[in-house]
Structures are given as structure tokens and as C-alpha cells.
Structure 1
Amino acid sequence: APTAMRSKNMNGSGWSMTEHLPTIRLGVDAAMATLIWLVQLVIYPAFRFIEADRFIAWHHKYTRAIAYVVLPLMIAQAACIGWLCLIRASVGNVTSAGAVLAAWIVTFTLSVPCHHKLQQQGKDPQIINQLVRTNWLRTLAWNIALLAGALSLRS
């Protein structure tokens, strides 16, 4: 197993990044799960209520703003889980890695193309419905990652 990264805290005691990484990862997993539930239950359904003549401008602002929240969390989650899999390829860590990989695949093969179509074509109820429907896959995947992460803390 890789050597734990150590630094000194203000009291001079050792602090192991590797020791605390599962807890950090659980926080990131919880943030992703919370965010995806907000997207699934509130944000994407609200697309239906944006006026068509304002939709493209609104959608552009939304996608730019949400990227500042989503991308750092996705990267942090992948980094934490990847590192944990290198240290200890437990069932929980590998399950989380698979769930996160599935969420990324759905994001970049289904969700991002829907957003591109909405940005180019404007408000389209069929595309919005497709976005809401296929987002359940990401909701499931990120919640599996959270559950597997929580269970791996117990082992």
C-alpha cells in the first residue's frame, strides 16, 4: 500500500491524509448525492417553466454556474475513490468506483448532449423530458456511490 501522506497540524501531531480520506470522500459523496437529488427533483423539472423566449439565455447562465459546483465535486470524488482503490481495493471502494464511472458515462453520453441540444435549439419539452428521465440513472449511480462509501467506513 502507498505510504500515507503526513503533515503536521498546529499541535505538531501527525495527520494522515490516507487515514482521513474515507471520511473526506464520504463528504464529497454526500454533496454529490444531495446535488443530484436537487437536480432531479427541482432543477430539471423547473426547465419546463422557463419561458421559451428566455430559455437559451437562462440555460447558458445555468450551465455555466452549475459547472462551478459540479466539476470540482466530480473531480474530487473521482480522485478520492481512485486513491482509495489504490490503497485498498475493497468491495465498497470498487463498487463506488464503478458507480461513479457509470455516472460519468451517463453525464457525458446522455446529459451533456441534451444540454447542448437545449442550448442550440431552445426550449424543447421532449429534450427536457429525456433529460429528467435519463437523469434517474445518475441519481441512482451517485446514491450507490454514497451508500458504498458509507458502508466501507464500517469495514
Structure 2
Amino acid sequence: MSNLSIISLLFDFGLVVLIWMVQLIVYPSFKYHNQESLIKWHAKYTVRIAGIVIPLMFGQLILYLYLVFMQEDASIYIRTVLTISAWIATFAIFVPLHNTINNGKSTEKTLSQLVSKNWIRTAIWTLLFIINLITVVK
């Protein structure tokens, strides 16, 4: 197992653990706040979670883009497409939803969409990790 394989597995594992915690604990908890407390908490949450998510997502993306050019492996291509898909989902779906909360315009529907649509990223990062784990274990 190469160092890059271990690093990619660590990035994928970090993101899969994080997304499951967000999916099962963090996003559902938003419904227990009134609008005022949600705005205050959300402002703190987004700054704090960004300190974890941004390095993991950038590290994962940079590593897979590097591996695409350095290794001819179908698994790398699949994982790179999944990584890019997670980025697209994040910026197309979740940034606007979080901005709605930040702007104090969230509704019950906004918070429900946050949970229901996050299954997309949960599935992507789970699948990515499983594919990587299977590839590394081979």
C-alpha cells in the first residue's frame, strides 16, 4: 500500500465520518432552534465546521486530481468523479440552503431540505470511501 493510498483513505474516511455525523445529528438538530437562536448557532457552526470540512475537501480533490494524471486506474477515475460530484452538490444545493439560514429566511421546508438532500452527499462520500477501501484492501 502506497503513502498516497493511505492518505486518500484518510481523507475519504474523515469525510464519511463527518457527513454521517452531520446527517444524523447536526442537520436534524437545527429544527430544535427558533429562528433567532438558529441564526446565532448557525453562524458559529458554519465557521467551525468549515475549519474541518475545507481542508478535507480540498485535500481529497487535489489528491484525486493528482492521481488521475499519475495512475491509470478505473477506481481513481470513479473516485475523482464522485469527489467532483460532492463539490457540485455542496455549491449547487447546500451553500444556498445555508445562506438562507444565515439570512434569517429559513423555514421548516428549508431545514427539511437540508436533511433530505444531504443524503446525496452522504451517499457519495460513503460510496467513495467503500470503493477506496476495497481498492486498498485488494
Alpha-carbon distance in 1 for matches of 2:27, 2:53: 15
Contact 2:100/2:106 (<8 A) preserved: no
1:72 matched to which residue of 2?
A: 55
1:12 matched to which residue of 2?
A: none
Contact 1:93/1:152 (<8 A) preserved: no
Instruction: Provide the TM-score with structure 2 as the length reference.
Output: 0.94
Alpha-carbon distance in 2 for matches of 1:62, 1:140: 23
Q: Quick check: which one's helix share is greater?
A: 2
Structure 2 stretches of 5 or more lacking a match? none
1:83 is the counterpart of 2:66? yes
SS in 2 for 1:121: coil
Structure 1 stretches of 5 or more lacking a match? 1-17
**How far does residue 149 in structure 1 lie from its aligned partner after superposition?**
1.2
Larger radius of gyration: 1
Contact 1:93/1:148 (<8 A) preserved: no
Kindly indicate whether structure 1 or structure 2 has the higher relative contact order, using CA contacts under 8 Å at least 6 residues apart.
2
Q: Equivalent of 1:101, from 77, 81, 84?
A: 84
Contact 2:68/2:77 (<8 A) preserved: yes
1:69-123: CA deviations, max 9, x gaps?
Answer: 0000001111121222211131211111111111111100001100001110244
1:48-89: CA deviations, max 9, x gaps?
Answer: 012322111111111111100000000111112122221113
Amino acid in structure 1 at the alignment position of 2:98: H
Q: Cα RMSD (Å) of the superposition?
A: 1.5
* Structure 1 stretches of at least 4 aligned residues deviating more than 2 Å after TM superposition: none
Contact 1:55/1:122 (<8 A) preserved: no
1:19 matched to which residue of 2?
A: 2
Q: Percent identity?
A: 31
